[in-house]
Amino acid sequence: MFRNHLKNEAEYDHDRMDRYLWQRERTTGLSRRQLIKMMAAALGSAAVGGFLCTKQARAGGGCVQKPTPPELFIPQGGGNYEMRFDVLPHHDYLVSSDRFFVRDHTCTPPPIDETTWRLRVHGAGVENPLELTYDDILALPSVTVTRFIECAGNGRSLFAIQQGRMAQGGQWLLGAVGVAEWTGVRLSDVLDLAGLKSQAVDVMPIGLDAKFQAFGHVRRPFPIEKALEDDTLLVYAMNGQPLLNDHGFPVRMLVPGWVGIANIKWVGQLLVSHKPLMSPFNTNLYRLFGDDYPPEGVLLTNQPVKSAFELPFPAQLGAGRHVLHGRSWSGTGPIQQVEVSVDGHHWKQAELVGANEPEAWVRWKILWNATPGKHVLRARATDQAGLTQPDDVPFNTLGYLFWAVVNHHVTVV
Ligand SMILES: Nc1nc2c(c(=O)[nH]1)N[C@H]1C(S)=C(S)[C@@H](COP(=O)(O)O)O[C@H]1N2
Ligand SMILES: [Mo]
């Protein structure tokens, strides 16, 4: 019944939240106002810990299995490492798997034996609940796409650095994003096998990693319309190799253009529902809360448009001519244009280089004659949907979606 507005999850969220609160009102006897207050309270206690696995990491329990040398990554506590843009090879469109950022809620990438692993597809939204083996999945028609995965919290540190207000959570710069080539099967093919019912409204992949505190297993529903898109995949390979354990071996979700959390790693179950589904990962977390937002927050769906220079942050350069390299990306379409300012007033078009895939990124370059002194470089992208990076963004307490133009400080000597 919601089908016609499922494409726009933000609109649908309104209905979904409404129904959810209505169900909760009936089962708990609490008022809507009380329920919203409880959500906000749970949120407060959750957020205090920031990245909650930091303690474990300090105790020596390494969370991430692939090497994370400081030349390639900035550690962000626990199982969280951001990619360094400054050492990304300018000529590579893809981020190799050894450089790809890692974001784990629990520091417990489960050691999964793919011979005993099963994907359970079940729920009232399917006629024939089923279990698939790894081999069953490999035997389905495969699809390869190039897309980014970006954490909703990417750029969070810039709320403090640039707008003077620190948000809760890991203080990422801009490297919690990466573009890879993903191979897997269409989620729609798997749902067809399970006899998807016309009444199905939501699909919720559930991760096999440990429970994230009181929030339980990492899981996030998305509407059936998104589930049925051609590039929404159950992925088993990244850049032509089986997924690394850190990136969700044996199978993870790829939900193109959407916030990182939608791309559930180590998927063990797909719950297909004929009723709206909720999880703390789209009610308490991954919503915009704060003075500029309604009390129940605003759902996150697509990543907005952003840009980064392939320079250290901040950078030091010698005087003279430089080719500045960078990348821009958007969750709402390919990039239309990128403008760069080196003086805070004038904008010049950067030259777009090579591939410009939707929900991936485009590389760009521009010549700069650097004179000694302090400078602020700024890059501003516009995507084909017409979305342009603003000068600042309203604060939200959890620091998601910082997509304002970034002031990149450079000292020229
Ligand atoms: N099971 C599970 N899936 C998960 C997460 C997690 O902690 N557990 N983190 C999510 C978040 S917040 C992001 S940004 C991406 C990061 O994917 P990556 O670590 O492969 O870069 O995975 C998502 N999928
Ligand atoms: Mo994330």
CA of 177 to the centre of ligand 1 (A): 11
The mean pLDDT value for 381-393 works out to 97
What is the tens place of the pLDDT at every residue in 295-351?
Answer: 999 999 999 999 999 999 999 999 999 999 999 999 999 999 999 999 989 999 999
Predicted pLDDT at 107: 85
What is the tens place of the pLDDT at every residue in 95-119?
Answer: 999 999 999 999 878 889 999 999 9
The phi, psi pair for 5, rounded to 5°, reads -110, 25
| Residue among 66, 74, 102, 103 whose CB has most ligand 1 atoms within 8 A, to mutate | 103
Predicted confidence band at 156 (pLDDT cuts at 50, 70, 90)?
very high
What is the tens place of the pLDDT at every residue in 251-300?
Answer: 999 999 999 999 999 999 999 999 999 999 999 999 999 999 999 999 99
Tell me the CB-side half-sphere exposure of residue 342, using CA atoms within 13 A.
17
Does 37 have pLDDT greater than 70?
A: no
Predicted pLDDT at 45: 44
What is the b/e burial string over 158-181, where b = at least 16 CB atoms within 10 angstroms of the residue's CB?
bbebbeeeebbbbbbbbbbbbbbe
Instruction: State which ligand 1 atom lies nearest to the alpha carbon of 151.
Output: 14
Predicted confidence band at 29 (pLDDT cuts at 50, 70, 90)?
low
Ligand nearest to the CA of 263: 1
Instruction: State which ligand 1 atom lies nearest to the alpha carbon of 207.
Output: 1
Does 41 have pLDDT greater than 90?
A: no
CA of 149 to the centre of ligand 1 (A): 9
Dihedral Cα 203, 400, 287, 110, nearest 10 deg: 40
Does 369 have pLDDT greater than 60?
A: yes
Residues listed for the chain: 413
Q: Work out the mean pLDDT of the chain and round it to a whole number.
A: 90
CA of 374 to the centre of ligand 2 (A): 33
Predicted pLDDT at 174: 98
- 408-412 and 315-317 beta bridge pairing: parallel
Predicted pLDDT at 300: 96
Predicted pLDDT at 18: 67
Ligand nearest to the CA of 150: 1
Closest Cα to atom 18, ligand 1: which residue? 102
Predicted confidence band at 36 (pLDDT cuts at 50, 70, 90)?
low
| More confident site: 28 or 247 | 247
CA of 354 to the centre of ligand 2 (A): 28
The mean pLDDT value for 69-95 works out to 96
How many separate helices (H) and strands (E) can be counted in the chain? 8, 24
Dihedral sign from CA coordinates of 220, 226, 232, 233: positive
Q: Is 82 in the pocket of ligand 1 (CB under 6 A)?
A: no
Q: Is 383 in the pocket of ligand 1 (CB under 6 A)?
A: no
Does 365 have pLDDT greater than 80?
A: yes
Predicted confidence band at 92 (pLDDT cuts at 50, 70, 90)?
very high
Predicted pLDDT at 108: 77
Closest Cα to atom 24, ligand 1: which residue? 264
Predicted pLDDT at 12: 64
Predicted confidence band at 47 (pLDDT cuts at 50, 70, 90)?
very low
The mean pLDDT value for 194-205 works out to 98
The phi, psi pair for 28, rounded to 5°, reads -105, -15
Ligand nearest to the CA of 209: 1
Does 28 have pLDDT greater than 80?
A: no
Ligand nearest to the CA of 218: 1
- 348-349 and 335-341 beta bridge pairing: antiparallel
Does 371 have pLDDT greater than 50?
A: yes
Q: Is 100 in the pocket of ligand 1 (CB under 6 A)?
A: yes
Q: Is 135 helix (H, G, I), strand (E, B) or coil?
A: helix
| Residue among 68, 105, 282 whose CB has most ligand 1 atoms within 8 A, to mutate | 105
Under 8 Å between Cβ of 285 and 270: no
Does 51 have pLDDT greater than 60?
A: no
Does 59 have pLDDT greater than 70?
A: no
Closest Cα to atom 6, ligand 1: which residue? 104
Q: Is 268 in the pocket of ligand 1 (CB under 6 A)?
A: no
DSSP 64-120: --S---TTTEEE-STTEEEE-GGGS-TT-SSPPTTTS-EE-SSS------TTT--EE
Dihedral sign from CA coordinates of 17, 23, 27, 28: positive
Locate the DSSP E strands across 296-388: 298-299, 306-309, 315-317, 320-329, 335-341, 348-349, 351-356, 361-370, 373-383
Q: Is 102 in the pocket of ligand 1 (CB under 6 A)?
A: yes
Closest Cα to atom 13, ligand 1: which residue? 260
Instruction: State which ligand 1 atom lies nearest to the alpha carbon of 208.
Output: 1
- 119-122 and 267-273 beta bridge pairing: parallel
Ligand nearest to the CA of 265: 1
